[in-house]
Amino acid sequence: MATQLQGADAHITKGRSYRPMAEINVTPFVDVMLVLLVVFMVTAPLLTVGVKVDLPKTDAPTLEGQDEPLAVTINSEGQIFIQDTKVELKELAPRLIAITASKPGTRIFIRGDQNIAYGRIMEVMAALNGAGFSKVALVAEQLQPAS
Specify whether the CB–CB gap between 136 and 128 falls below 8 A: yes
146 has a pLDDT exceeding 70: no
Tell me: do 95 and 54 sit in the same domain.
Answer: yes
Work out how many domains the chain is built from and give that number. 2
Residue 84 covered by a domain: yes
Q: How far apart are CA 121 and CA 74, in angstroms?
A: 7
What would the pLDDT profile of 38-79 be if each residue is shown by its tens digit? 988 887 766 555 556 555 666 666 666 556 678 888 888 888
Q: How far apart are CA 118 and CA 78, in angstroms?
A: 10
Stated pTM of the model: 0.53
Residue 15 covered by a domain: yes
**Full residue range of the structural domain in which residue 38 is found:** 10-46
Tell me: do 79 and 40 sit in the same domain.
Answer: no
What would the pLDDT profile of 81-90 be if each residue is shown by its tens digit? 888 888 888 8
What secondary structure letter does DSSP report for 112?
A: E
What secondary structure letter does DSSP report for 43?
A: H
For residue 34, what pLDDT band results from cuts at 50, 70 and 90? Answer: very high
Specify whether the CB–CB gap between 85 and 71 falls below 8 A: no
Tell me: do 54 and 76 sit in the same domain.
Answer: yes
Residue 88 covered by a domain: yes
**What's the CATH code of the domain at 126?**
3.30.420.270
Residue 24: which residues within 8 A CB-CB, separation 6 or more?
Answer: none
Looking at residue 46, what is its pLDDT?
A: 62
Looking at residue 98, what is its pLDDT?
A: 86
**Cα 89 to the center of its chain, rounded Å:** 24
